[in-house]
Structure 1
Amino acid sequence: MSWVKWEDTLLPFREGGLNIGSLKGKNLALLGKWFWRAKTEPNALWVKVLKNIHGVGGLNIDSGSNEIKGKRGVWANIIRADGAIDKTGIQFGSSFVKKISDGGGTCFWTDQYQCDEPLCNKFRRLYLLDTDRSCFVKD
């Protein structure tokens, strides 16, 4: 039996490895893909299910927030992937920009569309005073 360092198996063939690549990197890429799809396909059935489970703002949770700490499940892992990708030097989550169009699919408070964070975070006191926190921009 031959013992080989794991780092050597990840190397490309031309460098003597097995060309496996980083499993962590591939996992982050796949989780990042789901994060991107959730942001770009808001009317997909699985995104609607996530919104019903986690609330409308559940898709906009920051990976470092207290809301996600200690939580388990697929969506919590996808949110954490955003933070893990950011640690590699790629500003993944902040590279998304919401297109408002008619404003019917954009939540006024929880979607990030006007500035670098959702309005519910930037204007916390106003958000807490609002009686309809799930209103849309067109409303």
Structure 2
Amino acid sequence: MKVSSKGEYALRALLALGKNQGKVMTIQEISEKTLVTNSYLEQLLLQLKKFDYVQSKRGAKGGYLLHKDTNEINIGEVIRNLEGPLSPMGCASITKYEPCPLEAGCQLKPLWSLVRDTIAAVLERTTLEDLLLNRINLLEGEKLDVFKA
């Protein structure tokens, strides 16, 4: 899994909106906070609106604001919606499985599956609120449940 600029910038926009929750922000204001160009930001905000993370307000005092509470915005879901599967390889993907001619007896598939499960475990348990409150550091040193004996 590789998070592209699309996913990174979308998360930056959500963080900017989350820091100003309840306040309508213009694209220019969001751009200044995220260092993302207005034109690219417009495209991203339309996608975030499509997935119901943000809403837009028209008019002279228009702009964007979060449509959900920060504790309801799951980072794993955002990344999947914008970037696609979390798996590093198609053969290990749960949502977009792609068969491989070498899959039978493949010794790499368990590794790719573990990578997928580990990434998913971290992203799925992280909300926008966790990022805003810097609670991501609680994961350091924790044993993840995805490791199977």
TM-score in same-fold range (> 0.5): no
Which structure would you say has the larger RCO, counting Cα contacts within 8 Å and 6 or more residues apart?
Answer: 2
Structure having the higher strand fraction is 2
- What TM-score does the superposition give when structure 1 sets the normalisation length? 0.29
Q: Which has the larger radius of gyration?
A: 1
